[in-house]
Amino acid sequence: MTDTALPQPESSNFQNEGLSETGTERVSYLRAGHSLSSWLLTTDHKRIAILYLIAVTFFFFIGGTAAALIRLDLLTPQGDLLTNEGYNRAFTIHGVIMVWFFLIPSIPNTFGNFLIPLMIGAKDLAFPKLNLASWYIFMAGGLFTLFVLIAGGVDTGWTFYTPLSSMFAHGSVVLAAVAVFIAGFSSILTGLNFIVTIHKLRCPGMTWRRLPLFVWSIYATSIILVLATPVLAITLVLIAAERLFGLGIFDPALGGDPLLYQHLFWFYSHPAVYIMVLPALGVASELVAAAARKPIFGYQFVAGSSIAIAIIGFLVWGHHMFVAGQSMYASAVFSFLSLAVAVPSGIKVYNWTATLYKGHISLDPPFLFAMSFIGLFTVGGLTGLILAMLAIDVHVHDTYFVVAHFHYIMVGGTVSAFFGALNYWWPKMIGRTYSLVWGRLSAILIFLGFNLTFFPQFLLGYLGMPRRYHVYPPEFQLLHVFSTVGAGLLGVAYVMPFAYLYYSMRYGTPAGFNPWGATGLEWTVPSPPPKHNFETIPVVDSLPYQYDVELEEDHG
Amino acid sequence: MKLSHPLLLVWVALMLLLVSTVVASQNLTGPFSLAVNLTIAFAKAALIYWFYMHLRQESGLARLAALAAGGWLAILFLFLSLDYVTR
Amino acid sequence: MAETPLAARPPYSEPRQQHDAAMMGMYLFLGSEIMLFGGIFAVAAVIRILHPADIVESSRALHYLIGALNTGVLLTSSFFVASAVEATKGGRRRAGATWLAAAAVAGLVFLVVKGYEYGAEYREGLLPLPGADTQFRTAPQHLFMNLYVLATGLHAIHLLIGIVLLSVLAPCLAFGKVRLPDRGILIIAAALYWHLVDVIWVFIYPVFYLAR
C-alpha cells in the first residue's frame, strides 16, 4: 500500500454501524443515483460492469452447486447420490452455466467493461446503450437457462453432440439451445463494442505500443467473440431444427453427417476456449508487472502473442475430433497447428517469468493469484500438448485426463485470474481496501484446493477412467475421494473472497487513488472513479509499465 | 429527381453479371460451373461492398473490419473441405 | 434546408470520430451476419461434396428463372437504397425518403415472388414443410431442399427486418425526425444492413438454384 495521503471519511458522515462516506465516494459513479432504475437503466460502463459482476457471480455459484453434486456423487463407485439421468443433467448444467454464463462473460464483461475506457482514457465505451442492451440479452439467456434447470435440465453435455441431442436425448435440448443462442448475441455485441472502443476512443498519445496488455488481450478476445459466436448461433439453430423437424443435416441415414456438427460446434467452441483464457492472460500480464514492479519483459511479444493466439486458435478445432472419424490427414494438420498454438502461450509464460526475474516481488493477494495462475496455466498448457499429439490422444481421449487438463486452464487459469483481477481492482471499483491476510489465505487455499481436486484426475484419466461416467471400478475410488475432498476445500475457499470483499464495502478503509502503486491510467483517477472517469481527457506520453525498478539485490 | 450516375452504372454492371451467371449455369456443368458462378457472385458482392456500402470512401481499417469475416469464413471452408475431401 | 451543425455526443469528442466508430461497428456486426450465414453455406458445401449428383438434380428442379427475377429485384432495391443514402448526404430529405420507400416496396415484391415460388414448389411436392406432401427420389435431395427452406427462410426473415427498418426510417426522414447531417448515420447503417441482406442472396442464388 502506498503511504500517500489517503482521503479520509468525513466525520459528519460517521453514522452508527461504522457506515461512512468519503468526499471522493460522494461524487463517484457509485453514488450517481440511488434508485434501482439508476442502476438498471444506466449506460455507465462502470455500473454495467457491476451488474455483470453480480450476474456472473450468481451463475458461478449455481454452476458450482452442480459441480458439488457431481463430486459428491463420485465419492462412491456405485454413484449413490444421483440417478444415471440425474448425473448427466448435473454435469450438463454445470458445463453450460460455467462456460456460457460464467467463464465467457466473466473477465471481459466485468473487468473489460470497467477498465477498458479507464485504461485508454475514454469517457465510456463506443456504444453505451448497446452495452446495456447486451447485459439485458445476457440476463434473458441466463433466465432461460434457469428455466431449463427448473424444467428438469438437459442430459447431452454442454457440447450438444448429435445424434444424442437431435434424436435420443430427453429433456429441454431446444430450450437450452435457445438460452445459449441468446447469450451468444450478448457476446457478439460486447465484442463489437470493445473493438470499436479500442480503435476509436483511445486518448491522445495512447498508441498501440502504449496500450496496457489487458487491453490487447481483450481486443484479441473480442475478435473471436464477433467472428466465432455467430457460427455457434447457426449451429444451435440447426440442432433445434434437426430435433424439431428432422432436417437430416447431421443424420447419415438422411444423407447428412454427424461429424459436420462437431466441425461447426468446435469452430466456435475451440476459439471459445481462448475467449475464456485470453482475458485471463491479460490480467496476468497486468498483475505480474505490478507484482514485480518492473516493465513487462518483451511487451511487443506479449501483446502480439495475444493476437497470434486469437488467430491460430481458429485453426486447431479438429483436435477435438481425432477419434471421431475425421480424415487422418486433417487430423495430422490439426495436430501440428495445435502444437503451434503453444508457441505464443509459451512466449507469455517465459516473458512473465523474465519480468519477475530479480523483481522486488510483492505477495499481496492479487499477486498470489497471479503466481498460481502462471503455475496452473503452465500445467494445463503442457498437458494440452500431450492431448494435441495424435497417438497419445487416442489413449486419453474422453478420459479424466482431458477433464483435468481443461479444468487446469479454465478453473486454475481463468478463475484464478478472475479472483486476481477482483482483488487487484476491487479498491478501484469500490474505493475501499480489504483484509490482505484473508486475501492471501484465500489465494493459497484456492491453489491447494484446486490441485487436490484436479491433480488426481490426471492420474484417473491416465489409468483409464472415462469422463461422464458416475459408476466406476472400485480401484478408482481413492483418487475420487481425494478429488471430492479437494472440491470441498475449493468450495469453501471460493466463498471467502466474496465474504471479505463484501465486508470491505462497509468497513474497509478508503483506498486512495493507487493502493498498489501501479502504473496505468485507471490508477490516476479517484477510487471509486467519478461518473465521467476523467475531469479532462488525459494525454499519454510514455510507454506502459514505467515502474521505478527496485531489484532484489538492492535490498540485500 | 436526379439519378446518381455512378450508382446507376454499378446497377447496370450488377444486372449484366446476373444475366451472365444464368447463362453460364445453363451451359457449364460440374466444378467449372460452380467456380464461374461463385466468381460472378464474388464480383457482385465486391461491387456492392465497394460502391454501395461505401468501402470506396472508408479507411483501410474500416475495410479490414468489413472484410475480416470473409477471411475467417475461408478458414472454415478450407479445413472443412480438407477433412471431407481426404476422408 | 436549415440543418443543425455537426455535434459529437459523449463519449466522442468530434463528429468524424463518431461517424467512423458507427461505420466500424456496423461493418463488424455485418461480419457477424456473414459468419451466421456462413454456417449454412458450409453445410451446403459439405452436402455437395458428399452427394454431388443428387444436389445437381435437386437444384435443376428449382425455378431458376424466378430466382433470377428475385435477384434482379434485390439488386435493384440495393440501387434504390444507395441512392437514398446519396440523397440523404446531400440533405435532400424528400428524395431520400422516396428512394427508401421504393426499396422497401422492392423488398415486398421480393417476398411476394418468393411466396409464389414456395407455392409452386409446394404443389410440385418439392417443399419439405412440416405436414406437406413431398416426393423426393433420394434422401440427399430431401436434405438439400430442407437446407434450401432453411437458408431462404432465414434470408426472408432478415429481409423482413430490413423492410420494417426502411418503412420506419422513410417517414422519419421525410418529416424531419432524423436530424441531418449528424443522425444521417442511421440511414447509412440501415442501408448497409440492406445491402448485406442483398449480398447474402447473391450467394444463395448460385449455391442453391444454379448447381449444375
| Grid cell at residue A538 | 488525459
Is residue B21 located within the same domain as residue B44?
Answer: yes
Nearest to A200 among C20, C31, C147 (CB): C20
User: Mutate which of C36, C51, C145, C154 to test chain A, going by most A C-beta atoms within 10 A?
Assistant: C36
pLDDT at C3 over 90: no
Per-residue pLDDT band for A14 (boundaries 50, 70, 90) equals very low
pLDDT class for A551, splitting at 50, 70, 90?
low
Q: What is the mean pLDDT of residues A448-471?
A: 96
Out of A228, A314, A326, whose CB is closest to B83?
A326
Chain C hits for A202, Cβ within 8 Å: none
Q: Could you read off the pLDDT of A477-501 as tens digits, one per residue?
A: 999 999 999 999 999 999 999 999 9
d(CA C27, CA A200): 14
Q: Do B37 and C210 touch (CB under 8 A)?
A: yes
Q: What is the CA radius of gyration of chain C?
A: 20
Q: Closest approach of chain A CAs to the CA of C145, in angstroms?
A: 9
Q: Evaluate if residue A555 carries a pLDDT over 70.
A: no
How confident is the model over C140-192, as pLDDT tens digits? Answer: 999 999 999 999 999 999 999 999 999 999 999 999 888 888 888 999 999 99
Query: C191-208: buried (b, 16+ CB within 10 Å) or exposed (e) per residue?
Result: bbbbbbbbbbbbbbbbbb
The whole-number pLDDT of residue A13 equals 46
* Whether the Cβ atoms of residue C143 and residue A258 lie closer than 8 Å to each other: no
Residue A20 has what pLDDT? 66
Substitution target in B5, B52, B64, B87 with the highest count of C β-carbons within 10 Å is B52
Q: Give pLDDT, residue A360.
A: 85
CA distance B33 to chain C (A): 7
The confidence band for A23, taking pLDDT boundaries of 50, 70 and 90, is: confident
Question: How high is the pLDDT of residue C15?
Answer: 86
- Write down the mean pLDDT value for chain A: 92
Query: Both B2 and B37 in a single domain?
Result: yes
Does residue A246 register a pLDDT over 90? no
Of B85, B49, B54, residue with least CA distance to B68: B49
Distance CA A383, CA A413 (A): 13
Between helices A213-245 and A299-312, what is the axis angle to 10°? 10
Residues of B in Cβ contact (< 8 Å) with C200: none
User: Across the interface, which of C79, C198, C212 has its CB nearest the CB of B7?
Assistant: C79
* Domain A41-551 in this protein, CATH class: mainly alpha
Report CB contact under 8 Å: C40, A234: yes
Same domain for B3 and B42: yes
Q: If pLDDT is split at 50, 70 and 90, which confidence band does C130 have?
A: confident
Q: Would you give the DSSP letter of residue C207?
A: I
C-beta atoms of A256 and C21 within 8 A: no
Average pLDDT of the residues in B69-74: 95
What's the gap in Å between the CA of A255 and the closest CA on chain C? 5
Measured between alpha carbons, how far is B48 from C199 in angstroms, rounded to an integer?
Answer: 7
Closest alpha carbon within chain B to C87: B4
pLDDT digits (tens, 9 = 90+) for A46-69: 999 999 999 999 999 999 999 999
Distance CA A406, CA B45 (A): 41
A455 min Cα distance to partner chain C (Å): 38
Taking only the tens place, the pLDDT of each residue in A208-225 is 999 999 999 999 999 999
pLDDT, position A8? 53
CB contact under 8 Å between C11 and A126, yes or no, is yes
Do B8 and B19 fall into the same domain? Answer: yes
Mutate to test the interface with C, among A234, A265, A269 (most CBs of C within 10 A): A234
Q: Answer for the pair A265, A331: CB distance below 8 angstroms, yes or no.
A: no
Cβ-based neighbours of A12, under 8 Å, separated by 6 or more = none
Inter-chain residue contact C195 with B41, CB threshold 8 Å: no
Query: For residue A16, what pLDDT band results from cuts at 50, 70 and 90?
Result: very low
**Residues A318, B79: C-beta atoms closer than 8 Å:** yes
Whether residue B41 and residue C205 make contact (CB cut-off 8 A), yes or no, is yes
Residue A285's contacts (CB-CB under 8 Å, 6 or more residues apart) are A213, A214, A217, A296, A302, A348, A352
Cell of A355: 519480468
Same domain assignment for residues B45 and B66? no
Q: Environment class of residue A65 by beta-carbon count within 10 Å: exposed (0-12), middle (13-18) or buried (19+)?
A: middle
Q: How many residues does chain C have?
A: 212
What's the domain range around B37?
1-56
* H helix runs in A27-112, sequence order: 36-40, 45-73, 84-96, 104-105
Calculate helix-pair angle for B60-86, A258-292, nearest 10 degrees: 130
Angstroms from A27 CA to nearest CA on chain C: 19
B2/B29 same-domain check? yes
- At B24, is the pLDDT very low, low, confident or very high (cuts 50, 70, 90)? very high
> How far off is chain B from C34, nearest CA to CA, in Å?
6
Q: List CB contacts of C137: < 8 A, sequence separation 6 or more.
A: C57
CB contact under 8 A, B85 and C49: yes
Rounded CA separation B76/B83 (Å): 11
Residues B63 and B46 in one domain: no
Sign of CA dihedral A264, C25, A200, A43: negative
Query: For residue range C62-104, what is the model confidence (pLDDT) as tens digits?
Result: 999 999 999 999 999 999 999 999 999 999 999 999 999 999 9
Which of C34, C35, C55 has the most A C-beta neighbours within 10 Å, making it the best mutation to test the interface with A? C35
B46 lies in the same domain as B12 = yes
Chains linked to B by 3 or more Cβ pairs within 8 Å: A, C
User: Residue C171, preceding bond cis, omega within 30 degrees?
Assistant: no
Cβ distance C42 to A264 less than 8 Å, yes or no, reads yes
Domains of chain C: 15-209 (1.20.120.80)
CB pairs below 8 Å between A and B: how many? 40
Q: Is the pLDDT of residue A284 over 90?
A: yes
Distance of CA A65 to the CA centre of its chain: 18
Coil vs helix vs strand at A399: strand
Residues of C in contact with A227 (CB under 8 A): 31-32, 35
Q: What is the pTM of this model?
A: 0.94
Q: Number of folded domains in chain B?
A: 2
State whether B66 and C199 contact (CB < 8 Å): no
In angstroms, the CA A481 to CA A489 distance is 12
**Minimal C-alpha gap between A192 and chain C (Å):** 6
Concatenated DSSP letters for A499-548?
HHHHHHHHHPPB--S-TT---SGGGGS-SSPBTTS-SS-----S-S----
Same domain? B31 vs B14: yes
Least confident among A363-377, A458-472, A474-488, C118-132: C118-132
Residue of C24, C46, C207 with shortest CB distance to B84: C46
B69 shares its domain with B34: no
B79: distance to nearest CA of chain C, Å? 11
Contacts of C133 (CB under 8 A, 6+ apart): C125
- B17 and B29 assigned to the same domain: yes
B83 to A259: CB separation less than 8 angstroms, yes or no = yes
Q: Residue A511 contacts by C-beta under 8 Å, 6 or more apart in sequence?
A: A6, A427, A428, A430, A431, A432, A433, A527
Quickly list H helices, A389-533. Answer: 390-396, 400-407, 416-430, 436-463, 477-507
Cα C105 from Cα C95, distance rounded (Å): 15
